Structure formats: structure tokens, C-alpha cells
Structure 1
Amino acid sequence: MKVGVLGATGNVGQRFVQLLEDHPWFEIDALTASETSAGKTYADAAAWALPNEMPDAVREVTVRETSADEVSDEVEIVFSALPSSAAKEVEPEFARDGYIVASNAGWARLEDDMPLVVPEINPDHLGLLEVQRDERGWDGGIIKNPNCSAITMTPTLAALHPLGLNEVTVATLQAVSGAGYMGVTSMEILDNVVPYIGSEEWKMENEPRKILGEFDGARVDEADVSISASCNRVPTVDGHLENLWCRFDEDVGEDDAKEAMRGFTTLDLPTAPDQTIVVREENDRPQPRLDRNTGGGMSVVAGRIRDDGDARLKYSCLSHNTVRGAAGASVLNAELVAERYL
């Protein structure tokens, strides 16, 4: 299946290119970027910033302007690494023209007809694609993955939700790559922690409730879980670490929580990890440098699961924010769409 990457030269765009190298289902046919990059080879347009070399297959590919008119009709899925300001203009254009847009951009995630999907949690929410097409008159559609910090904790919350989860407090320690390659200067972050990330807390407090909600065939009824978040930027390169305090309807044992996480849903899709949630028993894990690449960067790693008394548990979890939290999440969503709808 031929695919394209929109915004291919940026940090998340490069992750898409890296993850799609030798993909068993998808073949890159189009790479798009801004007007300043259009017409150049990808090797000249993209300042490659990831470990391992740029894939040879894309080095001489000519970058196109980000427009549906510039992408072949043979392409079925496009992956959007565009910033929200551009994505809200461009993504509907592609959806109208019949493309499936697997989007990492934040705009419209909570709109009623927008599927916000983590395939291991709510694959049935893909049914919103039909609602979206009917309401907007599109031949294609847009599917969203969550914010990079929200997606780190949400699989663990989904595992605990059947145990009577009703309240969550979370404090994040988020890597600088989440702000993009030029997003945080060294003078801001070295020897420092920044206790604010614009709009991040709102996303963490709202997106998981939609993901955990019930789809009735027309809309999603959000889960009745209260979430309070405090987000911090820390001087790690990749890997968002989060500390959570959870309250339940009644006491939940540490072993029950671990069993729920270890037994959480896994999928037979190319980008899905063998284990969605990996539970560590060490007192000092998870750690970004040691654990962010677990499951090829697609697993969530949980640890320090402790009884906090009064029907509460506390624990830490971590994921690779540009793989599971961004490009990898969109690729997994596209695999789910390809398996079930195309």
C-alpha cells in the first residue's frame, strides 16, 4: 500500500520515515514539506537528527509541497506530522480527496466525529470514520492519535479502569524532543526544569476520558474518571516519565494492578509490541535512558506500583514520546485502518 508523509522533514516526520523503512505493508511514495523544501531531494531538505542513517530508499526522493494536488492518487494513507496550525487547513483537504489521514496533530482530537484511537484500547472508535464521512461529505477520513504525554499513561489507565478507577493525579517529566528539534533552547533546559508546557495539562486531563469512553455507534460517551495533571519539561532527550496517583471505588491490591497491566491487550499488527505494558519490579525503574526503547519504543513501561492506602495506588510509567507517543502511534493506527477498513 502506497503512503505519504506530510511534514516529512521535521522531528516527527523523520520518525515516520524511519519507522516506515522496510514496513511489510506500507511503501513511501510521497514526502511533503514547506515551500522552501519542495523540489529538493529529501537528503538535502531534511537535517537528519535521529540515530542510524537516513534510509537509502528516501535519500533521492524529491520533496513535494504539502497539497493533495501534489500526491499521487495511488497513495491511500498519508501520515501527518504537521503542526496543528497547518494541519487544520491541510488534513481536511486530503480527507475530502479520499485519503485516510493518520494524524499526530493536536487539532480536533476531541471533536465529536473525530476518532481518537489507541488500537489496544478502543479500536471500535474507528466507527467514527463513517460518522465523519457522512457529516462532512468526505471520501476519505482523519484518525487521530493522542498527545504524547496522554498516550504514555492511558494504556495503564485502561488496564486499571475495570478495577473501579475513578480519579487520577499525574505529574510528568517530559523529554525535550516533545517540543520539536528547535523547540527548547539549551539555555532554557540545561541545569533546569520548566514546570509548564503550553496546553499539555488540558490535553492530559481530557483526551484519556474520550479514549476510555464508550462508542454507541454515533458518538463517544466519555469515561467518568477525574484527571488532574501537572506537566514539566526536563533535560532528557527522549522518553516521557510520569508519576501517577490513582483512586478506586474500593481497595485494589498491588498484585491485582500488576496482573491487569501485564495481561493488557496486545495486537497482531506489524508495529505493535509483543507486550503493550511491561511491568518492572526494580525500585528504580522505569528510567528514560534504560526503558524508552522497550518493544521497539512502542511499549509502555510501568513500575513502582505501590498501595497508597484508602483505595489508592501510585506508580510510574514511561514511553518513547516520538515513537509510541507520536509517529509510531499513527503508524499503528494506520495498520488498524488498513486491516479493518481498506
Structure 2
Amino acid sequence: MSSKIKVAILGATGAVGQRFVQLLENHPWFEVAALSGSERSIGQKYGEACRWVLSGPIPAYAREMVVVPSAPGFEAQIAFSALPSEQAKNIEPELARAGYAICSNASSHRMWEDVPILIPEVNPDHTGLIEIQRKQRGWSGLIVTNPNCTSTGLTIAFRALHDAFSIRRAFIVSMQALSGAGYPGVASLDIIDNVVPYIGGEEEKVETEPLKMLGRFNGQGIDFAPIQLSAHTNRVAVIDGHMVVTSVEFRRDVSPQEAIEALAAFSAPEIVAGLPSAPKPVIELRAEADRPQPRRDRDSGNGMASVVGRVRADPLFHIKFANLSHNTIRGAAGGAILNAELLVVQGFVG
């Protein structure tokens, strides 16, 4: 690439916005040209406006940048959105109308019929919705979204298994990290010595979003995958890394060894495999009896791998396994950056 593509980060002072700032430092294709924030941050230098919560210092490139409004006018082709969903609902379409390519982490537009929920290794062809979106909405920009952070790693594993054997139904239980609630997040007295068995709106997302991602693009829209999902989501006292345990029934008998072989054989489509942020392998299999674990495995593949372990027979379904992914990297900022890289190689940006 002869020159880098200019990008903006919307909601740059928040926890996910900070992860974008961190991951985009020295990116081979993208140059951060604008950082947006709330009204109280606008006009301040990023280093002064931001209460940095990630490990390591604020990247030097961002420290002196002046925070701008989340509105048209900044010089960039791509806008990575870490905005809260209520704000994203209006701001993201406004920016798409102004010609920006929005790679969003918000849930506001995921279930719009003409907006893809994108995981490049799972459904790169769903970007076919973009031309439909542009035509229907009359804008030159675009919106693509990440899935819910809990769905991300699991849907990658489901892609491998569904392609090989056809999933009929699955039961899902999550143990979700505190960083998924943002900063300051869950009050310490609510989570220390405790598990909270409720995360508002989360179960509905986990039960529906994978069906769209695993569905088929028919040229006009998405035919959702005919899979039944039931989810129970829990908040646990882990900083980063969402753990999901799931039991899966297929449309034929499948042994644990067959499932392991399908997971091990899974690879990204050729157009995705060479992208700068793509992990190799996409699915990391752990053979140990007690893995994956958030503290030990969340950084696999630079935080972009879907880590699977404990694949075994299930007495009620066919198999069961544990899955782990880094919720603020693969499930948020890193996933959106990979989406943008896909848009570049597919010719939607650049």
C-alpha cells in the first residue's frame, strides 16, 4: 500500500476507544487522523482528556492529538466506532451519509436487514449487503458491525462445526469479563466474592446474532441459519476474556474426535488469511484438561484467536466444549480493525 488510509476513532476516550488507540499504533495500513470524544473532552489534548485504563502508556502518536466532535468534518475514510449504542444510533448513520465507512462496535444497527454483522473468517461474503445498504439508504458511506463480544469466539467455532456437520441446536453459558461492562463498569462490592447471573440484553444477542452471521447471503439479504440457541449469561470477576461453555447437537451423530478434527482443520478464507490482524491459527485448540483459561489464553493470536478446549461427549446433546476469546480485542476493537482490513481488500475503501 503506497500511502496509509486515514482513520478516526469515535468515542476514543472510553475503554474500547482506548483499545483502538493502542491497536492502531504502527498499523501497516491505517493512520489515525482524528480522535472524537464527549462534549467535556472536545478541544482538549487526548492525553489530558483520557483517563487511561489499559496497561502500558498512551501511545505517543495520540497523546497530543486534540479531541474533536463525533460529527462530519474530520479527515478520514474509515471511522471506528466505540460509541455507546444510544449515541451510535444517530451518529453512525449521519457519518455514513457524509461518506465515511463506519466499522462499529455498537449494537444499534446489527439487526438492520442491510447491515452485516461481520467476522471475516466466518462470513466475508456478507459485505455484499453494503451495495444494497447504499442503494436503499442513499448514502455513499457504509456501516458494518462487530457482533456482541460474547458471540464472537463462539461463532468462529460454530462456523467450523456447522460447515462440517450442520448444527441443530446449542445450549450456551457464558462467564463474562468485567471489561465488557466498560469503565468504571460493575461496582466492586457487586462482583468481589460473587457472580452476577444477569447482563441486560446479552442473552437475546447471543441467541440471535450468530444465526445472522452463520446465515447465507442470497443476493438480497441474509437467510438466517436454522439453528436453535439458548443462552444464559453471567458476569464474573475476571478483567479480560469471555469464557463460554456450550453443548451442541448436530443433524447427525458426531463424535468428539470428529469435532476436534473439524475445529483443527478450520482456516480463514484466502482473502482474509493474509490480513494484518488475522490470527494464525483462527481456532487454537487446547488439549489440557483445564484449558482454556482467561489469564493464560486470552492473548492467543495477539488476542484475536478463538481458543477451544475440553471437547468431549455430551450425554444430552452430541458434544460439549469450552471457548475463550479476548472480549476487548477480538470481540471489540481488534475485530473492527480486521473488518476494516477486509473492506480495503474487497475494494469498499481505499
Q: Please indicate the TM-score interval, normalised by the length of the shorter structure.
A: over 0.9
Deviation at 1:250, TM superposition (A): 1.4
Matched residue, 2:86: 85
How many Å separate the matches in 2 of 1:185 and 1:152? 27
Which one of 330, 333, 343 corresponds to residue 337 of structure 1?
343
Provide the alpha-carbon RMSD of the alignment.
0.9
Residue among 20, 29, 45 paired with 2:33? 29
Is the Cα contact below 8 Å between 2:168 and 2:249 reproduced in 1? yes
Number of residue pairs matched by the alignment: 339
2:255 touches 2:318 (CA, 8 Å); kept in 1? no
Residue 51 (structure 1) aligned with residue 55 (structure 2): yes
- The letter of the residue matching 1:277 is I
Alpha-carbon offset, residue 311 of structure 1: 5.5
1:309 is displaced (CA, Å) by 4.1
CA contact (8 A) 2:8 2:34 kept: yes
SS in 2 for 1:65: coil
**Aligned residue for 1:247?**
249
State whether residues 41 and 59 of structure 1, in contact with CA within 8 Å, keep that contact through their aligned partners in structure 2: yes
Structure 2 regions of 5+ residues with no counterpart? none
- The yes-or-no answer on 1:209 pairing with 2:173 is no
Alpha-carbon distance in 2 for matches of 1:126, 1:265 = 19
- Paired residue type of 1:123: P
Shift of 1:38: 0.5
Out of 209, 216, 238, the residue aligned to residue 240 of structure 2 is 238
Shift of 1:265: 2.1
Q: What SS class does the counterpart of residue 235 from structure 2 fall into?
A: coil
Counterparts of 1:248 and 1:177, CA distance in 2: 33
TM-score, structure 1 normalization = 0.98
Q: What do residues 258-306 of structure 1 show as CA deviations (whole Å, max 9, x unaligned)? A: 1211221232100111111101000000000000000000001000000
In 1: Cα distance, 2:81 partner to 2:316 partner: 44
Matching residue's letter, 2:116: P
Which residue number in structure 2 is paired with residue 281 of structure 1? 287
Alpha-carbon separation, structure 1, partners of 2:180 and 2:301: 20
**For 1:107 and 1:265, how far apart are their aligned partners in 2?**
30
Indicate if the aligned counterparts of 1:171 and 1:244 stay in contact, CA closer than 8 A.
yes
Contact 1:252 1:311 in 2 (8 A): no
Amino acid at match of 1:86: Q
Tell me what 1:14 maps to.
Answer: 18
Q: Distance in 2 between matches of 1:188 and 1:47?
A: 23
Q: How does 1:1-342 map to 2 (within 5 A)?
A: 1-69=5-73, 71-72=74-75, 75-162=76-163, 163-266=165-268, 267-309=273-315, 312-341=318-347, 342=349
**Per-residue deviation at 1:221?**
0.1
Distance of 2:329 and 2:23 partners within structure 1: 8
Moved over 2 A (4+): none
CA distance in 2, matches of 1:310, 1:239: 28
Do 2:169 and 2:249's aligned partners in 1 also have CA atoms closer than 8 Å?
yes
Amino acid at match of 1:236: V
Q: In structure 1, what residue type is equivalent to 2:173?
A: A
- Structure 2 residue matching 1:87: 3-state secondary structure: helix
CA contact (8 A) 2:6 2:32 kept: yes
Counterpart of 1:46, as a letter, is C
Cα deviation per residue 1:12-40 (whole Å; 9 max; x = unaligned)?
Answer: 00000111000000000000001100011
Amino acid at match of 2:309: G
The CA distance in 1 between the partners of 2:243 and 2:118, in whole Å, is 21
C-alpha separation in 2, matches of 1:326 and 1:262: 24
**8 Å CA contact retained: 2:119, 2:339:** yes
Cα displacement string for residues 138-169 of structure 1 (whole angstroms, at most 9, x for unaligned residues): 11000011000011210011111021211010
Q: Please say if residues 277 and 337 of structure 2, whose CA atoms lie closer than 8 Å, have aligned partners that are also in contact.
A: yes
Q: Residues 170 and 230 of structure 1 are in contact (CA less than 8 Å); yes or no, is this contact kept in structure 2?
A: yes
Distance 2:81 2:261 in 1: 36
Identity %: 50
Q: Assess if the C-alpha contact under 8 Å between 1:114 and 1:128 holds in 2.
A: yes
**Counterparts of 1:101 and 1:263 in 2: how far apart (Å)?**
32
Are the counterparts in 1 of residues 115 and 145 from structure 2 also a CA contact under 8 Å? yes
Give 3-state SS (helix, strand or coil) of 2:301's partner. Answer: helix
